[in-house]
Amino acid sequence: MSCTDGPALPDFALTNSPGQLSTVDVRGATIIQATVNGTRGTAAARTADELLVASFPNARATAWALGDRPATFVVTGGEEDRECAEFIAALREDPDTAPEPYLERSRRSRAAVRLAEGVASGYSGINALDVERSLALDVLNRPLVATPTGDHLILT
């Protein structure tokens, strides 16, 4: 199953829409994702000793996995990606860091505003639930590890 950013394309089963993805049973499927910033940023960092892919849904798990080891954050997108990185960094200092300020700034980001405008316009590549799904905390209780395999990266 392949998904991509933007409008639905003939060769792709899905768009990069968390709301859309939540309506499809993908158990047992291999998903090939082609996004703009996240995929490129992850590929650019593929030579790291350890490469974790983070978002708000696995932010706490990522912070826990990092512990107090040195880490470099690669922010690959807009304000919401920076907010997530700052939240993870804050969690490493204080596991009880409140997420609300980071989430609220992300809800007001340019990307969130564009998504809302797209939903209002009937844009086919997005779903009304995308912002909230992207900001849902603790959906995953583990970090996503990117492992180079040939010329691909496998996330597990």
54-85 pLDDT, tens digit per residue, is: 999 999 999 999 999 999 999 988 899 999 99
pLDDT of amino acid 60: 98
Residue located via tokens 């499809």: 24
Residue located via tokens 């990117």: 146
pLDDT of amino acid 78: 87
pLDDT of amino acid 47: 93
pLDDT of amino acid 123: 83
Ranges of residues in the chain with a pLDDT under 70 are 1-6, 34
The 10s digit of each residue's pLDDT in 25-34 is: 989 988 887 6
pLDDT of amino acid 24: 87
Q: Which CATH class is domain 2-155?
A: alpha beta
